Amino acid sequence: MGRRIEVSLPVTMKHRYHRLVWLWLWLFTAGTVHAQETAQPPALPQLEQAEALIEGGKPEQAYVLLEPLESQLAGNVQYDYLLGVSAVNSGKASQAVFAFERVQANDPRYRDVDLWLAIAYYQSGNRELAKSGFAEVVTQTNNAEAKAKAERYLAAIKQEEAGGTVQSSLLGHVEIGIGYDSNVTNSSSGYSSTPQLAATVLAPASNQAAIESILNLGVEARIPISGHYAFASVDDDRRTYNGLSVMNSDLLIAKAGMKFASDGDAYEVNAADREFRQQGTSFAATGILNDYDIDGLEGKARLRLSARDYLGFMAQYNQLRFLVNNTEDTDQVVLGANYMHMFQVSGSPILYLAYAHLDDQAVRMKTAYNPDYNGGMTVASRGAEMVTVYLQYSISKDVDIVSTDYVYFRRDSGAFARDAVIDYGKDKTSFLSLGVNWRLRPQWTLRSQLAKTSNNSNIDLYSYSKTEATVILRRDFN
Protein backbone atom coordinates (compact mmCIF):
# COMPACT_ATOMS: atom_id res chain seq x y z
CA MET A 1 0.00 0.00 0.00
CA GLY A 2 1.17 3.46 -0.75
CA ARG A 3 1.99 5.89 1.99
CA ARG A 4 -0.54 8.57 2.78
CA ILE A 5 0.97 11.97 3.18
CA GLU A 6 -0.87 14.41 5.40
CA VAL A 7 -0.18 18.08 5.80
CA SER A 8 -1.63 19.73 8.84
CA LEU A 9 -2.56 23.39 8.75
CA PRO A 10 -2.78 25.77 11.64
CA VAL A 11 -6.31 26.41 12.83
CA THR A 12 -6.24 29.99 11.60
CA MET A 13 -5.10 28.91 8.13
CA LYS A 14 -7.84 26.24 7.99
CA HIS A 15 -10.49 28.84 8.73
CA ARG A 16 -9.06 31.14 6.10
CA TYR A 17 -8.89 28.26 3.60
CA HIS A 18 -12.51 27.24 4.20
CA ARG A 19 -13.72 30.81 3.98
CA LEU A 20 -11.79 31.27 0.71
CA VAL A 21 -13.34 28.11 -0.77
CA TRP A 22 -16.84 29.23 0.22
CA LEU A 23 -16.18 32.69 -1.24
CA TRP A 24 -15.09 31.23 -4.60
CA LEU A 25 -18.08 28.89 -4.66
CA TRP A 26 -20.46 31.79 -3.96
CA LEU A 27 -18.89 33.98 -6.65
CA PHE A 28 -18.99 31.14 -9.19
CA THR A 29 -22.63 30.32 -8.43
CA ALA A 30 -23.74 33.95 -8.47
CA GLY A 31 -21.83 34.64 -11.67
CA THR A 32 -23.31 31.58 -13.38
CA VAL A 33 -26.84 32.52 -12.39
CA HIS A 34 -26.27 36.13 -13.51
CA ALA A 35 -24.82 34.96 -16.84
CA GLN A 36 -27.80 32.71 -17.41
CA GLU A 37 -30.17 35.54 -16.58
CA THR A 38 -28.29 37.85 -18.92
CA ALA A 39 -28.03 35.37 -21.76
CA GLN A 40 -31.64 34.22 -21.49
CA PRO A 41 -33.91 37.11 -20.49
CA PRO A 42 -37.45 36.11 -19.70
CA ALA A 43 -39.85 36.24 -22.63
CA LEU A 44 -42.13 39.27 -22.50
CA PRO A 45 -45.86 38.98 -23.21
CA GLN A 46 -45.54 41.55 -26.02
CA LEU A 47 -42.90 39.42 -27.75
CA GLU A 48 -45.02 36.31 -27.55
CA GLN A 49 -48.00 38.25 -28.89
CA ALA A 50 -45.92 39.77 -31.72
CA GLU A 51 -44.57 36.36 -32.74
CA ALA A 52 -48.12 35.00 -32.85
CA LEU A 53 -49.20 37.92 -35.04
CA ILE A 54 -46.29 37.33 -37.44
CA GLU A 55 -47.06 33.62 -37.67
CA GLY A 56 -50.70 34.53 -38.27
CA GLY A 57 -49.79 36.69 -41.26
CA LYS A 58 -50.25 40.04 -39.52
CA PRO A 59 -46.76 41.62 -39.55
CA GLU A 60 -48.15 45.18 -39.66
CA GLN A 61 -49.94 44.67 -36.35
CA ALA A 62 -46.82 43.09 -34.87
CA TYR A 63 -44.75 46.10 -35.93
CA VAL A 64 -47.24 48.52 -34.38
CA LEU A 65 -46.97 46.54 -31.14
CA LEU A 66 -43.16 46.31 -31.12
CA GLU A 67 -42.00 49.67 -32.49
CA PRO A 68 -42.85 51.76 -29.35
CA LEU A 69 -40.73 49.38 -27.23
CA GLU A 70 -37.49 49.96 -29.13
CA SER A 71 -36.00 52.45 -26.68
CA GLN A 72 -36.50 49.90 -23.88
CA LEU A 73 -35.72 46.61 -25.60
CA ALA A 74 -33.20 47.40 -28.36
CA GLY A 75 -30.37 44.93 -27.84
CA ASN A 76 -32.67 42.11 -26.75
CA VAL A 77 -32.02 39.55 -29.49
CA GLN A 78 -35.54 38.13 -29.54
CA TYR A 79 -37.08 41.59 -29.67
CA ASP A 80 -34.75 42.86 -32.42
CA TYR A 81 -35.38 39.74 -34.51
CA LEU A 82 -39.17 40.02 -34.26
CA LEU A 83 -39.01 43.76 -34.91
CA GLY A 84 -36.92 43.14 -38.03
CA VAL A 85 -39.22 40.42 -39.36
CA SER A 86 -42.33 42.52 -38.79
CA ALA A 87 -40.65 45.59 -40.36
CA VAL A 88 -39.37 43.82 -43.47
CA ASN A 89 -42.82 42.35 -44.05
CA SER A 90 -44.48 45.74 -43.56
CA GLY A 91 -42.46 47.66 -46.14
CA LYS A 92 -40.13 49.30 -43.60
CA ALA A 93 -36.80 48.06 -44.91
CA SER A 94 -34.50 50.64 -43.27
CA GLN A 95 -35.94 49.89 -39.82
CA ALA A 96 -35.50 46.17 -40.48
CA VAL A 97 -31.82 46.66 -41.41
CA PHE A 98 -31.03 48.32 -38.08
CA ALA A 99 -32.90 45.66 -36.11
CA PHE A 100 -31.27 42.70 -37.89
CA GLU A 101 -27.81 44.30 -37.65
CA ARG A 102 -28.25 44.49 -33.87
CA VAL A 103 -29.20 40.80 -33.83
CA GLN A 104 -26.18 39.88 -35.92
CA ALA A 105 -23.87 41.92 -33.69
CA ASN A 106 -25.14 40.20 -30.53
CA ASP A 107 -25.78 36.67 -31.82
CA PRO A 108 -24.67 36.02 -35.44
CA ARG A 109 -26.23 32.53 -35.43
CA TYR A 110 -29.64 33.53 -34.12
CA ARG A 111 -32.28 31.73 -36.19
CA ASP A 112 -32.00 32.76 -39.87
CA VAL A 113 -30.94 36.37 -39.26
CA ASP A 114 -28.41 36.31 -42.15
CA LEU A 115 -31.18 35.62 -44.66
CA TRP A 116 -33.51 38.24 -43.21
CA LEU A 117 -30.75 40.87 -43.14
CA ALA A 118 -29.97 40.20 -46.80
CA ILE A 119 -33.67 40.57 -47.63
CA ALA A 120 -33.77 43.87 -45.73
CA TYR A 121 -30.72 45.10 -47.65
CA TYR A 122 -32.41 44.10 -50.92
CA GLN A 123 -35.64 45.91 -50.08
CA SER A 124 -33.75 49.05 -48.98
CA GLY A 125 -31.98 49.21 -52.36
CA ASN A 126 -28.52 48.12 -51.23
CA ARG A 127 -28.02 45.45 -53.89
CA GLU A 128 -24.33 44.93 -53.19
CA LEU A 129 -24.74 44.01 -49.51
CA ALA A 130 -27.86 42.00 -50.35
CA LYS A 131 -26.05 39.97 -53.00
CA SER A 132 -23.14 39.27 -50.67
CA GLY A 133 -25.53 38.25 -47.88
CA PHE A 134 -27.53 35.88 -50.06
CA ALA A 135 -24.33 34.33 -51.41
CA GLU A 136 -23.14 33.61 -47.86
CA VAL A 137 -26.48 32.01 -47.00
CA VAL A 138 -26.25 29.75 -50.06
CA THR A 139 -22.74 28.55 -49.19
CA GLN A 140 -23.06 28.27 -45.41
CA THR A 141 -26.62 27.34 -44.42
CA ASN A 142 -27.88 23.81 -43.90
CA ASN A 143 -31.48 24.99 -44.14
CA ALA A 144 -32.74 23.91 -47.56
CA GLU A 145 -35.66 26.35 -47.52
CA ALA A 146 -33.44 29.33 -46.61
CA LYS A 147 -30.93 28.31 -49.28
CA ALA A 148 -33.64 28.09 -51.94
CA LYS A 149 -35.02 31.51 -51.00
CA ALA A 150 -31.54 33.05 -51.15
CA GLU A 151 -30.96 31.51 -54.57
CA ARG A 152 -34.23 33.01 -55.85
CA TYR A 153 -33.16 36.45 -54.68
CA LEU A 154 -29.75 36.03 -56.30
CA ALA A 155 -31.44 35.10 -59.56
CA ALA A 156 -33.64 38.20 -59.35
CA ILE A 157 -30.61 40.41 -58.72
CA LYS A 158 -28.78 38.83 -61.64
CA GLN A 159 -31.76 39.52 -63.86
CA GLU A 160 -31.84 43.15 -62.73
CA GLU A 161 -28.12 43.54 -63.42
CA ALA A 162 -28.67 42.07 -66.88
CA GLY A 163 -31.19 44.80 -67.56
CA GLY A 164 -34.24 42.57 -67.41
CA THR A 165 -36.19 44.61 -64.85
CA VAL A 166 -34.24 47.86 -64.68
CA GLN A 167 -36.19 50.79 -66.10
CA SER A 168 -35.34 54.36 -66.96
CA SER A 169 -35.74 56.63 -63.96
CA LEU A 170 -35.66 60.26 -62.99
CA LEU A 171 -34.34 61.25 -59.56
CA GLY A 172 -34.23 64.63 -57.91
CA HIS A 173 -33.76 66.54 -54.68
CA VAL A 174 -34.40 69.94 -53.16
CA GLU A 175 -32.41 71.37 -50.24
CA ILE A 176 -33.18 74.53 -48.31
CA GLY A 177 -31.19 75.73 -45.36
CA ILE A 178 -29.78 78.48 -43.25
CA GLY A 179 -26.33 78.95 -41.83
CA TYR A 180 -23.82 81.22 -40.14
CA ASP A 181 -20.31 81.91 -41.43
CA SER A 182 -17.90 83.80 -39.15
CA ASN A 183 -15.51 84.72 -41.99
CA VAL A 184 -17.29 84.66 -45.35
CA THR A 185 -14.29 86.00 -47.29
CA ASN A 186 -11.69 83.61 -45.78
CA SER A 187 -9.59 86.69 -44.99
CA SER A 188 -6.60 86.99 -42.69
CA SER A 189 -7.16 88.66 -39.34
CA GLY A 190 -3.75 90.33 -39.80
CA TYR A 191 -5.10 92.39 -42.69
CA SER A 192 -8.41 93.55 -41.29
CA SER A 193 -8.48 96.81 -43.26
CA THR A 194 -6.78 95.70 -46.47
CA PRO A 195 -8.34 93.95 -49.45
CA GLN A 196 -6.84 90.47 -49.66
CA LEU A 197 -5.62 88.38 -52.56
CA ALA A 198 -6.47 84.81 -51.56
CA ALA A 199 -6.18 82.05 -54.14
CA THR A 200 -6.67 84.62 -56.93
CA VAL A 201 -9.80 86.04 -55.29
CA LEU A 202 -9.85 89.68 -54.22
CA ALA A 203 -12.18 89.86 -51.24
CA PRO A 204 -13.42 92.42 -48.70
CA ALA A 205 -11.69 92.93 -45.37
CA SER A 206 -11.49 90.02 -42.96
CA ASN A 207 -13.78 88.63 -40.29
CA GLN A 208 -17.00 89.64 -41.99
CA ALA A 209 -19.61 87.31 -40.57
CA ALA A 210 -22.99 86.80 -42.17
CA ILE A 211 -26.11 84.70 -42.10
CA GLU A 212 -26.39 82.61 -45.26
CA SER A 213 -29.38 81.16 -47.05
CA ILE A 214 -28.89 77.88 -48.93
CA LEU A 215 -30.85 76.56 -51.90
CA ASN A 216 -29.79 73.45 -53.80
CA LEU A 217 -31.68 71.80 -56.64
CA GLY A 218 -30.65 68.60 -58.36
CA VAL A 219 -31.98 66.18 -60.95
CA GLU A 220 -30.54 62.97 -62.43
CA ALA A 221 -31.78 60.84 -65.32
CA ARG A 222 -30.79 57.16 -65.63
CA ILE A 223 -31.10 54.96 -68.71
CA PRO A 224 -30.29 51.20 -68.49
CA ILE A 225 -27.84 49.83 -71.07
CA SER A 226 -26.97 46.11 -71.05
CA GLY A 227 -27.22 45.67 -67.31
CA HIS A 228 -25.50 48.97 -66.58
CA TYR A 229 -26.79 52.51 -66.98
CA ALA A 230 -25.98 55.89 -68.41
CA PHE A 231 -26.76 58.98 -66.39
CA ALA A 232 -26.91 62.74 -66.72
CA SER A 233 -27.31 65.12 -63.79
CA VAL A 234 -27.51 68.83 -63.03
CA ASP A 235 -27.00 70.43 -59.61
CA ASP A 236 -27.38 74.09 -58.75
CA ASP A 237 -26.12 75.35 -55.36
CA ARG A 238 -26.91 78.94 -54.41
CA ARG A 239 -25.59 80.85 -51.38
CA THR A 240 -27.01 84.23 -50.38
CA TYR A 241 -25.40 86.27 -47.57
CA ASN A 242 -27.43 88.72 -45.53
CA GLY A 243 -25.71 92.12 -45.54
CA LEU A 244 -22.83 90.91 -47.73
CA SER A 245 -24.40 90.42 -51.13
CA VAL A 246 -21.03 90.92 -52.86
CA MET A 247 -20.27 87.32 -51.81
CA ASN A 248 -23.51 85.76 -53.10
CA SER A 249 -22.64 82.81 -55.32
CA ASP A 250 -24.05 80.20 -57.63
CA LEU A 251 -22.34 76.89 -58.45
CA LEU A 252 -23.78 74.90 -61.37
CA ILE A 253 -22.54 71.33 -61.98
CA ALA A 254 -23.55 69.35 -65.06
CA LYS A 255 -22.36 65.75 -65.33
CA ALA A 256 -22.89 62.79 -67.68
CA GLY A 257 -21.42 59.31 -67.79
CA MET A 258 -21.82 55.57 -67.35
CA LYS A 259 -21.99 53.36 -64.26
CA PHE A 260 -21.07 49.68 -64.34
CA ALA A 261 -21.44 46.87 -61.78
CA SER A 262 -19.84 43.43 -61.69
CA ASP A 263 -19.85 40.91 -58.82
CA GLY A 264 -20.10 43.58 -56.14
CA ASP A 265 -17.61 45.94 -57.79
CA ALA A 266 -18.75 49.28 -59.20
CA TYR A 267 -17.19 51.52 -61.83
CA GLU A 268 -17.98 54.98 -63.18
CA VAL A 269 -16.70 57.26 -65.90
CA ASN A 270 -18.05 60.76 -66.36
CA ALA A 271 -17.46 64.17 -67.87
CA ALA A 272 -18.38 67.24 -65.85
CA ASP A 273 -18.66 70.99 -66.26
CA ARG A 274 -18.59 73.25 -63.18
CA GLU A 275 -19.40 76.94 -63.38
CA PHE A 276 -18.95 79.26 -60.40
CA ARG A 277 -20.38 82.76 -60.49
CA GLN A 278 -20.25 85.40 -57.79
CA GLN A 279 -22.66 88.31 -57.72
CA GLY A 280 -20.28 91.00 -56.56
CA THR A 281 -17.15 92.44 -58.12
CA SER A 282 -13.76 92.59 -56.44
CA PHE A 283 -12.38 95.72 -54.89
CA ALA A 284 -9.96 96.25 -57.75
CA ALA A 285 -10.16 97.82 -61.17
CA THR A 286 -9.74 94.43 -62.85
CA GLY A 287 -13.34 93.55 -62.02
CA ILE A 288 -14.65 90.07 -61.17
CA LEU A 289 -11.84 87.63 -60.45
CA ASN A 290 -13.83 84.96 -58.64
CA ASP A 291 -15.76 83.47 -61.56
CA TYR A 292 -14.35 80.27 -63.03
CA ASP A 293 -15.18 77.23 -65.13
CA ILE A 294 -13.87 73.69 -64.66
CA ASP A 295 -14.18 71.06 -67.39
CA GLY A 296 -13.13 67.60 -66.31
CA LEU A 297 -13.02 63.86 -66.92
CA GLU A 298 -13.20 61.33 -64.09
CA GLY A 299 -12.88 57.59 -63.63
CA LYS A 300 -13.77 55.78 -60.40
CA ALA A 301 -13.67 52.17 -59.22
CA ARG A 302 -15.03 50.64 -56.02
CA LEU A 303 -13.91 47.08 -55.31
CA ARG A 304 -15.75 44.90 -52.80
CA LEU A 305 -13.21 43.18 -50.57
CA SER A 306 -15.95 41.68 -48.39
CA ALA A 307 -19.54 42.36 -47.45
CA ARG A 308 -18.36 45.25 -45.28
CA ASP A 309 -15.06 46.35 -46.81
CA TYR A 310 -14.56 48.38 -49.97
CA LEU A 311 -11.47 49.76 -51.66
CA GLY A 312 -11.75 52.60 -54.16
CA PHE A 313 -9.60 54.41 -56.69
CA MET A 314 -10.16 57.58 -58.66
CA ALA A 315 -8.45 59.68 -61.33
CA GLN A 316 -9.42 63.12 -62.63
CA TYR A 317 -8.23 65.51 -65.28
CA ASN A 318 -9.55 69.07 -64.91
CA GLN A 319 -9.07 72.32 -66.78
CA LEU A 320 -9.51 75.27 -64.40
CA ARG A 321 -10.16 78.53 -66.22
CA PHE A 322 -10.80 81.94 -64.63
CA LEU A 323 -13.00 84.23 -66.67
CA VAL A 324 -10.83 87.33 -66.16
CA ASN A 325 -7.55 86.52 -64.42
CA ASN A 326 -6.32 83.88 -66.85
CA THR A 327 -2.76 83.85 -65.49
CA GLU A 328 -4.18 81.65 -62.70
CA ASP A 329 -5.48 79.03 -65.17
CA THR A 330 -4.19 75.50 -64.57
CA ASP A 331 -4.53 71.97 -65.87
CA GLN A 332 -5.03 69.65 -62.93
CA VAL A 333 -4.46 65.91 -62.40
CA VAL A 334 -5.92 64.24 -59.30
CA LEU A 335 -5.13 60.68 -58.23
CA GLY A 336 -6.69 59.12 -55.16
CA ALA A 337 -7.55 56.01 -53.19
CA ASN A 338 -10.07 55.33 -50.45
CA TYR A 339 -11.18 52.59 -48.07
CA MET A 340 -14.52 52.05 -46.34
CA HIS A 341 -15.41 49.60 -43.55
CA MET A 342 -18.87 49.02 -42.10
CA PHE A 343 -18.58 47.55 -38.60
CA GLN A 344 -20.89 44.71 -37.61
CA VAL A 345 -21.76 46.04 -34.15
CA SER A 346 -24.57 48.03 -32.63
CA GLY A 347 -24.84 51.46 -34.23
CA SER A 348 -23.48 50.17 -37.55
CA PRO A 349 -20.42 52.49 -37.51
CA ILE A 350 -18.84 53.42 -40.84
CA LEU A 351 -15.21 54.41 -41.32
CA TYR A 352 -14.12 56.03 -44.58
CA LEU A 353 -10.50 57.01 -45.31
CA ALA A 354 -9.32 58.78 -48.45
CA TYR A 355 -6.07 60.13 -49.86
CA ALA A 356 -5.62 62.32 -52.93
CA HIS A 357 -2.64 63.85 -54.72
CA LEU A 358 -3.25 66.98 -56.78
CA ASP A 359 -0.89 68.44 -59.38
CA ASP A 360 -1.80 71.84 -60.92
CA GLN A 361 0.28 72.94 -63.90
CA ALA A 362 -0.03 76.58 -64.98
CA VAL A 363 -1.21 77.18 -68.52
CA ARG A 364 0.68 80.46 -68.97
CA MET A 365 3.16 82.77 -67.26
CA LYS A 366 2.16 85.47 -64.76
CA THR A 367 3.82 88.51 -63.22
CA ALA A 368 5.95 87.58 -60.20
CA TYR A 369 5.51 89.50 -56.97
CA ASN A 370 9.30 89.77 -56.85
CA PRO A 371 10.35 91.71 -59.99
CA ASP A 372 13.97 90.54 -59.60
CA TYR A 373 13.06 86.89 -60.16
CA ASN A 374 13.24 85.44 -63.68
CA GLY A 375 12.74 88.77 -65.39
CA GLY A 376 9.65 89.42 -63.26
CA MET A 377 7.78 86.33 -64.49
CA THR A 378 6.66 83.11 -62.77
CA VAL A 379 3.86 80.50 -62.89
CA ALA A 380 0.89 79.63 -60.66
CA SER A 381 1.71 75.90 -60.59
CA ARG A 382 1.31 74.02 -57.31
CA GLY A 383 1.09 70.55 -55.76
CA ALA A 384 -1.13 69.35 -52.95
CA GLU A 385 -1.96 66.32 -50.79
CA MET A 386 -5.28 65.71 -49.06
CA VAL A 387 -6.24 63.19 -46.36
CA THR A 388 -9.92 62.74 -45.43
CA VAL A 389 -11.57 60.83 -42.57
CA TYR A 390 -15.33 60.27 -42.41
CA LEU A 391 -17.07 58.63 -39.45
CA GLN A 392 -20.72 57.71 -39.03
CA TYR A 393 -22.57 56.18 -36.09
CA SER A 394 -26.30 55.46 -35.97
CA ILE A 395 -27.83 56.19 -32.58
CA SER A 396 -31.20 54.98 -33.87
CA LYS A 397 -32.71 53.74 -37.12
CA ASP A 398 -33.39 57.34 -38.18
CA VAL A 399 -30.53 59.36 -36.64
CA ASP A 400 -26.84 59.30 -37.59
CA ILE A 401 -23.96 61.20 -36.04
CA VAL A 402 -21.38 62.07 -38.69
CA SER A 403 -17.97 63.67 -38.71
CA THR A 404 -15.97 64.77 -41.75
CA ASP A 405 -12.38 65.84 -41.22
CA TYR A 406 -9.62 66.57 -43.71
CA VAL A 407 -6.14 68.04 -43.90
CA TYR A 408 -4.99 69.71 -47.13
CA PHE A 409 -1.31 70.50 -47.78
CA ARG A 410 -0.39 72.89 -50.61
CA ARG A 411 3.04 73.92 -51.88
CA ASP A 412 3.58 76.46 -54.66
CA SER A 413 5.71 75.22 -57.56
CA GLY A 414 6.30 78.69 -58.99
CA ALA A 415 8.56 81.02 -57.05
CA PHE A 416 7.12 84.34 -55.83
CA ALA A 417 3.70 83.51 -57.25
CA ARG A 418 1.94 84.80 -54.10
CA ASP A 419 4.46 86.97 -52.25
CA ALA A 420 7.37 89.32 -52.94
CA VAL A 421 9.59 88.04 -50.08
CA ILE A 422 8.70 84.37 -49.51
CA ASP A 423 9.54 82.41 -52.62
CA TYR A 424 7.46 79.25 -52.21
CA GLY A 425 4.18 79.49 -50.37
CA LYS A 426 3.14 76.60 -48.15
CA ASP A 427 -0.34 76.10 -46.67
CA LYS A 428 -1.98 73.60 -44.36
CA THR A 429 -5.78 73.69 -44.29
CA SER A 430 -7.63 71.77 -41.57
CA PHE A 431 -11.36 71.11 -41.62
CA LEU A 432 -13.21 69.55 -38.68
CA SER A 433 -16.96 69.00 -38.59
CA LEU A 434 -19.58 67.28 -36.48
CA GLY A 435 -23.13 66.80 -37.67
CA VAL A 436 -26.41 64.97 -37.17
CA ASN A 437 -28.54 63.51 -39.97
CA TRP A 438 -32.14 62.88 -39.01
CA ARG A 439 -34.47 61.03 -41.38
CA LEU A 440 -37.74 62.68 -40.42
CA ARG A 441 -39.74 60.40 -42.69
CA PRO A 442 -39.16 58.55 -45.98
CA GLN A 443 -37.34 60.86 -48.43
CA TRP A 444 -37.07 63.70 -45.88
CA THR A 445 -33.75 64.39 -44.11
CA LEU A 446 -32.72 67.15 -41.72
CA ARG A 447 -28.95 67.73 -41.60
CA SER A 448 -27.18 69.98 -39.11
CA GLN A 449 -23.44 70.61 -38.99
CA LEU A 450 -20.90 72.63 -37.04
CA ALA A 451 -17.53 73.05 -38.78
CA LYS A 452 -14.19 74.74 -38.11
CA THR A 453 -11.76 75.62 -40.91
CA SER A 454 -8.21 76.86 -40.32
CA ASN A 455 -5.53 77.69 -42.87
CA ASN A 456 -1.94 78.12 -41.67
CA SER A 457 0.43 79.58 -44.26
CA ASN A 458 4.01 80.78 -44.29
CA ILE A 459 2.57 83.83 -46.07
CA ASP A 460 0.59 85.66 -43.38
CA LEU A 461 -1.86 87.09 -45.87
CA TYR A 462 -3.27 83.61 -46.50
CA SER A 463 -3.72 82.49 -42.90
CA TYR A 464 -7.32 82.52 -41.73
CA SER A 465 -9.87 80.65 -39.64
CA LYS A 466 -13.63 80.42 -39.69
CA THR A 467 -16.56 78.70 -38.01
CA GLU A 468 -19.68 77.61 -39.87
CA ALA A 469 -23.01 76.27 -38.64
CA THR A 470 -25.69 75.05 -41.05
CA VAL A 471 -29.10 73.39 -40.90
CA ILE A 472 -30.43 71.93 -44.18
CA LEU A 473 -33.73 70.21 -44.94
CA ARG A 474 -33.60 67.81 -47.91
CA ARG A 475 -36.42 66.22 -49.88
CA ASP A 476 -35.60 63.41 -52.34
CA PHE A 477 -37.77 62.43 -55.29
CA ASN A 478 -37.65 59.16 -57.22
Looking at per-residue pLDDT, the higher value among 332 and 107 belongs to: 332
pLDDT class of 221 with cuts at 50, 70, 90: very high
What pLDDT, in 10s, does the model give residues 347-360? 889 999 999 999 99
Looking at per-residue pLDDT, the higher value among 154 and 423 belongs to: 423
Q: How far apart are CA 381 and CA 365, in angstroms?
A: 10
Structural domains of the chain, with CATH: 45-161 (1.25.40.10), 169-477 (2.40.160.40)
Mean of per-residue pLDDT scores for the chain: 82
What sign does the CA torsion over 115, 118, 123, 127 have?
negative
Q: How much is the pLDDT for 280?
A: 64
Q: How far apart are CA 144 and CA 150, in angstroms?
A: 10
pLDDT class of 189 with cuts at 50, 70, 90: low
Which of 64-68, 369-373, 437-441 is most confident? 369-373
| Secondary structure (DSSP) of 30-93 | HHHHHHHHHHSPPPPHHHHHHHHHHHTT-HHHHHHHHGGGHHHHTT-HHHHHHHHHHHHTTT-H
Separation in Å, CA 29 to CA 19, 35, 139: 15, 10, 41
Of the candidates 381, 463, 379, 458, which has an alpha carbon nearest to the alpha carbon of residue 425?
A: 458
Least confident piece of the model among 105-114, 201-210, 399-408, 457-466: 201-210
pLDDT at 403 over 90: yes
Looking at per-residue pLDDT, the higher value among 439 and 334 belongs to: 334
What pLDDT, in 10s, does the model give residues 294-345? 999 999 999 978 767 889 999 999 999 998 888 999 999 999 999 999 887 7
Is the pTM above the cut of 0.75?
Answer: no
3-state class (DSSP) for residue 106: helix
Looking at per-residue pLDDT, the higher value among 139 and 172 belongs to: 172
What sign does the CA torsion over 33, 35, 39, 45 have?
positive
Contact 85, 59 (CB under 8 A): yes
What's the residue count for the chain?
A: 478
φ and ψ of 275, to 5 deg: -125, 120
